[in-house]
Structure 1
Amino acid sequence: MKQKFQISGRMTDMTTGSPLSLILRFALPLVAASMLQQVFSLTDTMVLGVFAGNQAIAVLGVCLWPVWLQVSVLTNLGQAACLLAAVRFGAKDEAALRRAVGCVYRTAVWVGLLFIPALILLTKPFLRLQNTPEAIFDEAAEYLWIIFLGTVFLLVYNILSSLLRAVGDSLTSFYAILISAVINLGLDVLLVAGFGMGTIGAAAATSVSQVFAAVICLWKLRSYPVFHLRREELRFDPPLFKEYAGLCLPMMAQSFVIAGGGTYVQACINQYGVDFAAGVSAAGKLFSVLETGAIGLASACASFVSQNVGARQFGRIRSAVRQIMGLTLVVALVLGIGLWLAGPWLLRIYVTADALDCAVEQMHAYCIGLLLMYPMYSLRQTVQSLGNLQIPLLAALLQLAARMSTARFLPLWLGRSGIYYTGIAAWAVSVLLIGFIYPRQLRKCSRT
């Protein structure tokens, strides 16, 4: 017999009520916090550009994909934890939820012990793989080492914030990200502008700020009795671990595949010199502010779908996804127009004239790509929450092929500007495949 529990605190039961309203209320704190974090990150980049020049911006560019891989793997670990817990929360089965949380905790410890040393050892091989210019190689390696030393705190934050999202609490993530972002910015100004520490100071500021995000989530988790585990709930449970690994591993494989494509593209970018790399990096930083909106909406979709899978409410899922698809296209269009108009002015603030033209050209390509990327993120999380982890992995492989072929052949006709369209090609093949599979996966899930 299921052991049921009461909804308390900031928990949100998404199995009843208006789907779109629930998703938006859940998503808004995530989107707001992530966008604020990226705005602060953009300010960090501006500080680096002003006080350390194009070379510092280029360092951020060549470190983009190693850092992206670090963050993505830990995010995947959290996403899988959210799916594992949210299904049991939706089914109102407290005993199963507590065992799932115990499994997540044990797995996180193992991942931390293996992943952090691997990141540090592979830093220089990764940089060599993407043809990092010698002028910035050592500085980039030092930047990554400092970032990777802070992985343990990023791991704690991702696991705990994901478990909180599984039970419908997205406000804690908002406060954690907001406070850590403010601390990051303050330390960045102090270390980079005040002490002239350049990219090393920026890396240190990032790592220190992640400590606060982890502590805030840990503090809030203590207020939910369902997360207060007994010793037996922390024991190794082979079937549960197999289920969690079955969720994690395909997601992580996606991340490695996407990072492989990004690394190949970055190697192509680096061949055109430091100024070109700085321009593309600057546009990417500006674009990342808007990308977080798509990620926040997708995270809300994942929690909603997972809870309703647990409650066997597939009609609600169909209705919600249809509404979210319309919303993502409208949001992407509005943001794309805004970025197209305001982007050149914003880029002039923190990138020098040598890198400005390519930064603006890359940004214009990103504006078009928003219309593909926003629905892709939500559809991908929906399909994963419905239990299909193979199709998103296949989509990642298609993204890899699209990025590499675009970066390899399009510059033959368009020159270096062909590099700008690698993202558009990757998102296009991914959204077509996942959009085709989604209704079939929903029907299959509802029949089982």
Structure 2
Amino acid sequence: MTKDMTKGSPIRLMLYFALPLLMGNLLQQTYNMMDAAIVGRFLGAQALASVGSTSSVQFLVLGFCMGMCNGFAVPVARYFGAGDYGRMRQCITHALVLTAGAAVILTASCAILCPQILRILSITDDIYADAYWYLLIIFLGMPFTLLYNLLSCILRAVGDSRTPFVFLAFSAALNIGLDLLCVLVFSWGCAGAAIATITSQAISGILCLVFIFHKFRQLVPTKDDRKLERSTFSMMLGMGVPMGLQFSITAIGSMVMQSANNGLGSVYVSGFTAAARIKQFAMSPFDAIATSVSVFCSQNAGARQGARIRKGFVQGLCIGVLYGICAGIVLILLGRTLSMLFVSADSVEVLDASAKYLRYMGYFFWCLGFLNVARMCTQGLGFSGRAVFSGVTEMIARIFVSFVFVGTYGYTAICCADQTAWIMACLYIVPMCIYCIRKVCRDMGKENDPEEAAV
């Protein structure tokens, strides 16, 4: 069911939209955590290190895919808000073609370069084989990941965050069942965990496609909508590629940081892996809040309602920061206890490493409220290129900490890298987002419209 976000209370609309998205994000992280828990508990800390040692490169590649799909959905949201459904379907056609091309290129290149990628990550010999097969299978399943993410982003762009949640819930339950089957029954090890992941994503993506064709005919391109135009390709690439690079550039810094951490030994790799799973779970609400702000601002930009854009941004920012403060306190106080979901109690050194990472991160977790909301709002308003620089700032900060401080301070420097990156990125993206909002409102010619300002 589509949802027009150009009328009604901004905070109520954003929360209504964010709730299914939040539940979906938490559910996705839950089955990611279950994936790690099954590997760590039944295959051991070394297997957990094998899976976790490649997480940054997965974020690099899959993050680009997800960011690109988010970018393709921005024009869809804008034309939906403007009521131009024909143009909206044209954008969907071009998004499908571009995504198919990206799937072929990325899958082939990543599969071929998998050994070189593992060498760059400084994967040690004791975990290399498991890491290779896990990463290769994840890469081979990339077309299904792209399919599901594109369709989900299109549905969210028109205000429907519930349908993607339903399919994600199905995927999560299926993934956990397949994990247990492949790891415990078939004894396929880390490769089994990867097979379970891509199989569940493939089934969910196909079901989502079938559902749209039968229930969301408004989104299905007609014969006239399927005409390909160079100008539309350029416009879609101008939105999708910068947003994809935003994720990937951030991941490059994470790769350098993880490579530095991998060199500290398997204890710190396992501790970092457990902490990273918890971090990803805790960050899920930020994604839901920021995405709701982005869709809200994008639809209202199409409807030329500047005052609603400003109001939605401020309210979204407050929600994000408040959540960050509360979540940070939990990470500080309960980090070690949460780490025991993945690591047995007798692995004291691994638990200490995980708890330390979470404790250091918790003190600055509120920064992500500013960072994610401002970045996604900037992207939703069509300024993807400017938002990319916040990712560049994060990358530089993580690389700087990894190269300059890890050699001297070891794992303590790793524990401080994320916070440094967040703060540096906030110093750029928050003022830039405010500038972009003002520019959009100024271009609308409604900056001083008393009737709109009263909305």
Q: 2:448 maps to what in 1?
A: none
Correspondences of 1:96-245 after superposition (within 5 Å): 96-222=87-213, 223-245=215-237
- Please tell me whether the aligned partners of residues 6 and 81 of structure 2 are also in contact (alpha carbons under 8 angstroms): yes
Q: Which residue identity does 1:337 align to in structure 2?
A: I
Q: 1:45 maps to what in 2?
A: 36
- Please tell me whether the aligned partners of residues 44 and 189 of structure 1 are also in contact (alpha carbons under 8 angstroms): no
**Could you say if the C-alpha distance between residues 70 and 411 of structure 1 is closer, same or farther in structure 2, counting changes exceeding 3 Å?**
closer
Please tell me whether residue 381 in structure 1 is matched to residue 372 in structure 2: no
Q: 1:252 maps to what in 2?
A: 244
Q: Give the counterpart of 1:283 among 275, 283, 299.
A: 275
Please give the secondary structure, in 1, of the residue aligned with 2:405. helix
Q: What is the CA–CA distance in structure 1 between the aligned matches of 2:238 and 2:84, rounded to whole Å?
A: 21
**Structure 2 residue ranges without an equivalent (≥5):** 444-455
**Structure 1 residue ranges without an equivalent (≥5):** 1-9
Q: 1:306 maps to what in 2?
A: 298
Please tell me whether residue 71 in structure 1 is matched to residue 62 in structure 2: yes
Correspondences of 1:77-96 after superposition (within 5 Å): 77-96=68-87
Q: What is the CA–CA distance in structure 2 between the aligned matches of 1:58 and 1:419, rounded to whole Å?
A: 16
Please give the secondary structure, in 1, of the residue aligned with 2:127. helix
Please tell me whether residue 330 in structure 1 is matched to residue 322 in structure 2: yes
Q: 1:393 maps to what in 2?
A: 388
Please tell me whether residue 361 in structure 1 is matched to residue 353 in structure 2: no
TM value normalised by structure 2? 0.93
Please give the secondary structure, in 1, of the residue aligned with 2:366. helix
List 4+ stretches of structure 1 deviating above 6 A: none
Q: Which residue identity does 1:433 align to in structure 2?
A: Y
Range with greater deviation from structure 2 (77-86 or 405-414): 405-414
Q: What is the CA–CA distance in structure 1 between the aligned matches of 2:406 and 2:119, rounded to whole Å?
A: 22
Number of residue pairs matched? 439
Q: Which residue identity does 1:357 align to in structure 2?
A: D
Please tell me whether residue 407 in structure 1 is matched to residue 402 in structure 2: yes
Q: Give the counterpart of 1:261 among 228, 250, 253.
A: 253
Deviations 1:93-150 (A, max 9, x none): 1111111111111111211121110111121111111211111112111111111111
Deviations 1:22-70 (A, max 9, x none): 0110011011111022122212211111111111111122110121123
Please tell me whether residue 344 in structure 1 is matched to residue 344 in structure 2: no
Q: What is the CA–CA distance in structure 1 between the aligned matches of 2:255 and 2:404, rounded to whole Å?
A: 16
Deviations 1:242-275 (A, max 9, x none): 1101111212222332222111111100111111
**Could you say if the C-alpha distance between residues 349 and 111 of structure 1 is closer, same or farther in structure 2, counting changes exceeding 3 Å?**
closer
Please tell me whether residue 419 in structure 1 is matched to residue 425 in structure 2: no
Give the alignment's Cα RMSD to 1 decimal: 1.4
Q: Give the counterpart of 2:431 among 418, 433, 436.
A: 436
- Please tell me whether the aligned partners of residues 328 and 374 of structure 1 are also in contact (alpha carbons under 8 angstroms): yes
Q: 1:372 maps to what in 2?
A: 367
CA positional deviation for 1:224? 1.6
Q: 1:4 maps to what in 2?
A: none
Q: 1:447 maps to what in 2?
A: 442
CA positional deviation for 1:333? 1.2
Q: Which residue identity does 2:284 align to in structure 1?
A: T
Q: Which residue identity does 1:285 align to in structure 2?
A: R
Correspondences of 1:51-66 after superposition (within 5 Å): 51-66=42-57
CA positional deviation for 1:181? 0.7
CA positional deviation for 1:215? 2.4
- Please tell me whether the aligned partners of residues 71 and 244 of structure 2 are also in contact (alpha carbons under 8 angstroms): no
Range with greater deviation from structure 2 (437-446 or 214-223): 214-223
Q: Which residue identity does 2:31 align to in structure 1?
A: F
Q: 1:16 maps to what in 2?
A: 7
- Please tell me whether the aligned partners of residues 172 and 220 of structure 1 are also in contact (alpha carbons under 8 angstroms): no
CA positional deviation for 1:412? 5.0
TM value normalised by structure 1? 0.95
- Please tell me whether the aligned partners of residues 369 and 423 of structure 1 are also in contact (alpha carbons under 8 angstroms): no
Q: Which residue identity does 1:307 align to in structure 2?
A: Q
Q: 1:7 maps to what in 2?
A: none
Q: What is the CA–CA distance in structure 2 between the aligned matches of 1:148 and 1:245, rounded to whole Å?
A: 22
Q: Which residue identity does 2:4 align to in structure 1?
A: D
